[in-house]
């Protein structure tokens, strides 16, 4: 099932690139949405357009569906930064009304040896029609290998990251991986808090373990 989902994501990417090259100005896919305690809605999605890198955008609405932000704002790194491929977002809200957005990202520079799971915190709106500045991106370094020396492997893809936050702002992020080279796949988890950051990733299960 994990392999099928990864192949589907690859097919979606191929379709998106084809649409952009065929003349479509913008392509928006893979939305996720969350509502905070003030009934503010944050929706995030994957974006690809002419002259832009694959990015993660977000936009906020009030409970009546009226836009708080005039346009969708970028939450992933902007063009010209090390990150050049961002996809598959999810979002949850904390007790202060912040929106925590998590997604998959690949960077040219270290520690971007493999595609990483990253997240950012978008503050709640302080007033209507307030444009949000691009927030700081934080990296979850997935410990996906037991060896100290990790070989660079661009065929090892994470996908389907999900984030959950409880009323005390404890946070958990999980994702799946598939390695096209070895056929290995698995699920990983990090835990922590919104304010203090995350622990090292732990492997939940992989396809070489017996399931009881």
Res 73: pLDDT = 85
Res 128: pLDDT = 43
Distance between CA atoms of 26 and 31, rounded to whole angstroms?
A: 15
Instruction: State the DSSP H helix or E strand holding residue 139, giving kind and residue range, or none if neither.
Output: strand 137-140
- CA–CA distance from 40 to each of 44, 48, 75, 145, 183 (Å)? 13, 26, 17, 40, 42
Res 24: pLDDT = 53
Q: Which class would CATH give 2-206?
A: mainly beta
Say if CB 158 and CB 6 are below 8 A apart.
Answer: no
Question: CA 116, 160, 48, 76 torsion: positive or negative?
Answer: negative
Strands 55-61 and 73-74: antiparallel
Say if CB 194 and CB 165 are below 8 A apart.
Answer: yes
For the chain, what are the domain ranges? 2-206
Phi, psi of 70 (to 5 degrees): -65, -40
Distance between CA atoms of 106 and 115, rounded to whole angstroms?
A: 4
Which residues of the chain carry a pLDDT beneath 50? 1-8, 10-12, 14-22, 79-80, 110-112, 128-129, 143-150, 152
Res 116: pLDDT = 83
> Is the pTM here over 0.95, yes or no?
no
Q: Which two tokens stand for residue 184?
A: 């290995």
Distance between CA atoms of 149 and 181, rounded to whole angstroms?
A: 18
Q: Which two tokens stand for residue 56?
A: 């993660």
Res 113: pLDDT = 53
Phi, psi of 111 (to 5 degrees): -95, 30
DSSP designation for 166: -
Res 162: pLDDT = 96
Distance between CA atoms of 189 and 143, rounded to whole angstroms?
A: 10
């Amino acid at each position: 099932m994990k392999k099928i989902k990864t192949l589907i994501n690859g097919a979606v990417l191929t379709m998106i690139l084809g649409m952009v090259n065929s003349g479509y100005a913008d392509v928006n896919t893979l939305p996720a949405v969350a509502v905070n305690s003030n009934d503010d809605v944050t929706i995030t999605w994957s974006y690809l357009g002419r002259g832009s890198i694959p990015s993660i955008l977000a936009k906020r609405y009030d409970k009546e569906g009226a836009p708080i932000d005039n346009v969708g704002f970028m939450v992933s790194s902007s063009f010209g930064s090390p990150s050049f491929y961002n996809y598959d977002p999810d979002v949850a809200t904390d007790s202060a009304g912040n929106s925590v957005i998590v997604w998959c990202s690949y960077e040219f520079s270290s520690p971007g040896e493999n595609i990483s799971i990253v997240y950012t915190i978008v503050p709640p709106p302080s007033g209507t029609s307030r444009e949000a500045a691009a927030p700081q991106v934080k990296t979850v370094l997935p410990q996906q290998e037991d060896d100290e020396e990790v070989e660079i492997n661009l065929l090892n893809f994470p996908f389907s990251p999900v984030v959950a936050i409880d009323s005390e702002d404890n946070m958990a992020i999980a994702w799946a991986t598939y390695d096209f080279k070895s056929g290995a796949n698995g699920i990983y988890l990090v835990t922590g808090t919104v304010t203090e950051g995350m622990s090292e990733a732990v492997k939940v299960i992989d396809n070489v373990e017996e399931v009881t």
